[in-house]
């Protein structure tokens, strides 16, 4: 076989419906790892945590792009091949379908008895049967052609139309997903009560852009977290302390001169902004802590988000003080309603701040902030540090109740627990292809429903010397085909009797 012959054979195989269905199945299977392993585009911290938990396996998985499934070379190859296969399959079928719509129904066969359903009716007077058959079949929605003593009728082209709409909609979904994913972005921001962020790259804690995304696509706006409220279950004894509702009250502006617009963000109720939607993905406490050196100068001050470690909001926070005479860091736990276990360990027995307590372990040494390597703000690398309070240091860790101040060890100064604020974790995302994916998905559903419900059928009627014959043929299974023939024969026979009267 020549090169051109091989090319034609390859193209026929690629554009066959069987190949398209196989590629669609492969795409579904290829998407499974995206729900099993954390993805950099959606959960960069999860990927980093996976590398920490599985340092031997993670590089292997990363080499085969299992942390970037939807932008991987192998997923893209399946995606592109499916796109080409569908186009190569659907476009020729569209031309054939268009020609069929314009062509006349096929002529009546010579032997009606060879058709899957047929009937023979004897009538004495039957000269106007072709005219009556044409009128009857037209009323039933058939395209009809009368030629001599026979009538040819056909209906059900809407079935193929629905099939083509379904496949074109799949192509539309692929295009919308590709363009939407390429121009989309997903960003995260932890916002403490009273803080404001603006929609630019510098304001986000992390951002995962699409392939074609650029900073100019970000529509200017600002959002402030005014207040965050949580409703806890107090009535059900078995679920006391279970969160029932989260509410983030925010104020937004489209420009500095605009009046602030009040808004509310809840779980599954995002705030719609121009070019972005803001989702509530997490929350916790942000104790306001002030650290002063021995001379009373403030070296650290602010509300620090603490990450919840339990359903009762026992939370972990890290404070890094690089601007003191001696760098030091603090690993701190916050207990909203503190209690002591039988083992002597502290815990929180209720998620609301009824009896709050801060505990602190202090480390002195190199914080690693000057090496140019990005550091996790929620973790403290103690490999080059010495513990001077808490643990096995020989000095008890610090404990502070709300409003208290304690002296730091080694002449580091003092630390005070000033107040408690709440924070909200916001996910800011935008995908311009989302609406089009929905539209094409609905079109595909309508198309496949039409193709399944509308039968493709041909009916022929022929006048004979002794009466007439009726035959029918269906494309695919048609359980009522014989009933169709019987009904047409009965109608023609009835109209013949009326004509005699």
> Is residue 444 pLDDT above 90, yes or no?
yes
Question: Are 316 and 328 in a shared domain?
Answer: yes
Residue 359 lies in a domain: yes
Residue 413 lies in a domain: yes
DSSP run (H or E) holding 406: strand 405-408
> Is residue 440 pLDDT above 90, yes or no?
yes
pLDDT at 374: 65
Question: Are 147 and 209 in a shared domain?
Answer: no
Question: Are 74 and 14 in a shared domain?
Answer: yes
User: pLDDT band at 359, cuts 50/70/90?
Assistant: very high
> Is residue 496 pLDDT above 80, yes or no?
no
* CATH number (domain holding residue 152): 3.30.310.50
Of the candidates 243, 79, 48, 108, which has an alpha carbon nearest to the alpha carbon of residue 177?
A: 79
pLDDT tens track for 168-183: 998 898 888 888 888 8
pLDDT at 216: 86
Residue 86 lies in a domain: no
pLDDT at 299: 92
**CA 293/CA 300 separation, integer angstroms:** 9
**Which domain range does residue 370 map to?**
285-422
Q: Which of 155-169, 171-185, 310-324 has the lowest mean pLDDT?
A: 171-185
User: pLDDT band at 277, cuts 50/70/90?
Assistant: very high
Task: Kindly state the DSSP code that residue 353 receives in the 8-state scheme.
Answer: -
Q: What percent of the chain has pLDDT over 70?
A: 96
Question: Are 300 and 383 in a shared domain?
Answer: yes
pLDDT at 498: 60
Question: Are 396 and 332 in a shared domain?
Answer: yes
pLDDT at 371: 66
User: pLDDT band at 280, cuts 50/70/90?
Assistant: very high
User: What's the pTM value of the predicted model, to 2 decimals?
Assistant: 0.72
Q: DSSP string spanning 293-318?
A: -TTS-EEEEEE---EE-STT--EEEE
Residue 374 lies in a domain: yes
Q: DSSP string spanning 206-243?
A: EEEE-TT--GGGSPP-EEEEEEEEEEE--S-GGGTT-E
> Is residue 121 pLDDT above 60, yes or no?
yes
> Is residue 268 pLDDT above 80, yes or no?
yes
Question: Largest alpha-carbon pair distance within the chain?
Answer: 122
Contact 406, 414 (CB under 8 A): yes
Question: Are 46 and 108 in a shared domain?
Answer: no
pLDDT at 373: 66
pLDDT at 72: 86
Question: Are 312 and 415 in a shared domain?
Answer: yes
Question: Are 304 and 401 in a shared domain?
Answer: yes
Residue 43 lies in a domain: yes
Residue 174 lies in a domain: no
**CA 329/CA 401 separation, integer angstroms:** 20
Question: Are 339 and 365 in a shared domain?
Answer: yes
pLDDT tens track for 225-264: 999 999 988 888 778 888 889 999 999 999 888 899 999 9
Question: Are 215 and 270 in a shared domain?
Answer: yes
Mean pLDDT of the chain: 88
Question: Are 267 and 302 in a shared domain?
Answer: no
Residue 91 lies in a domain: no
Residue 173 lies in a domain: no
Work out how many domains the chain is built from and give that number.
4
**CA 115/CA 334 separation, integer angstroms:** 82
> Is residue 266 pLDDT above 90, yes or no?
yes
> Is residue 459 pLDDT above 80, yes or no?
yes
Dihedral angle, C-alpha 201, 374, 425, 186, nearest 10 °: 40
**CA 78/CA 172 separation, integer angstroms:** 16
Question: Are 363 and 478 in a shared domain?
Answer: no
More confident residue, 56 or 499: 56
Q: Which of 21-30, 300-309, 435-444 has the lowest mean pLDDT?
A: 21-30
> Is residue 499 pLDDT above 60, yes or no?
no
């Amino acid at each position: 076989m020549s090169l051109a012959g091989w090319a034609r054979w390859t193209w026929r195989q690629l554009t066959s419906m069987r190949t398209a269905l196989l590629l669609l199945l492969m795409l579904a299977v290829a998407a499974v790892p995206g729900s099993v392993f954390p993805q950099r585009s959606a959960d960069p911290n999860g990927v980093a945590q996976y590398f920490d938990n599985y340092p031997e396996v993670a590089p292997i998985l990363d080499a085969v792009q299992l942390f970037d499934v939807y932008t991987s070379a192998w997923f893209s190859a399946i995606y592109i091949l499916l796109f080409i296969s569908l186009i190569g399959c659907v476009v020729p079928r569209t031309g054939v379908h268009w020609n069929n719509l314009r062509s006349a129904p096929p002529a009546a066969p010579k032997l009606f008895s060879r058709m899957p359903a047929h009937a023979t009716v004897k009538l004495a007077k039957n000269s106007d049967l072709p005219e009556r058959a044409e009128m009857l079949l037209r009323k039933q929605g058939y395209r009809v052609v009368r030629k001599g003593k026979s009538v040819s009728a056909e209906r059900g082209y809407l079935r193929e139309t629905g099939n083509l709409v379904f496949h074109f909609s799949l192509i539309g979904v692929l295009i919308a997903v590709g363009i939407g994913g390429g121009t989309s972005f997903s960003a995260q921001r932890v916002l403490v009560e009273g803080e404001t962020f603006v929609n630019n790259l510098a304001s986000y804690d992390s951002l995962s852009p699409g392939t074609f995304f650029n900073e100019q696509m970000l529509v200017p706006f600002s959002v402030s977290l005014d207040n965050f409220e949580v409703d806890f279950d107090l009535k059900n004894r078995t679920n006391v302390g279970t969160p029932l509702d989260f509410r983030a009250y925010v104020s937004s502006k489209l420009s500095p001169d605009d009046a602030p617009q009040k808004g509310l963000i809840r779980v599954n109720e995002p705030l719609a902004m121009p070019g972005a939607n803001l989702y509530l993905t997490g929350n916790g406490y942000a104790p306001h802590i002030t650290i002063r050196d021995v001379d009373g100068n403030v070296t650290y001050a602010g509300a620090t988000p603490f990450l919840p470690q339990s359903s009762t909001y026992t939370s972990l926070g890290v404070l890094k003080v690089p601007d003191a005479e001696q760098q030091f860091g603090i690993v701190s736990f916050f207990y909203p309603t503190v209690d002591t276990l039988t083992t002597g360990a502290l815990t929180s027995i209720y998620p609301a701040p009824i009896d709050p307590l801060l505990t602190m372990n202090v480390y002195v040494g190199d914080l690693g902030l000057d090496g140019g390597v990005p550091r996790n703000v929620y973790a403290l690398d103690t490999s080059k540090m010495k513990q001077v309070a808490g643990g096995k240091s020989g000095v008890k860790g610090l404990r502070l109740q709300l409003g208290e101040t304690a002296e730091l060890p080694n002449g580091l100064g003092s630390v005070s627990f000033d107040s408690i604020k709440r924070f909200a974790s916001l996910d800011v995302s935008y995908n311009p292809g989302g609406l089009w994916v929905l539209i094409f998905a609905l079109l595909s559903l309508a198309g496949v429903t039409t193709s399944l419900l509308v039968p493709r059928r041909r009916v022929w009627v022929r006048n004979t010397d002794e009466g007439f014959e009726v035959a029918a043929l269906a494309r695919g299974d048609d359980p009522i085909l014989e009933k169709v023939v019987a009904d047409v024969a009965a109608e023609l026979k009835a109209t013949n009797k009326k004509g005699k009267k």
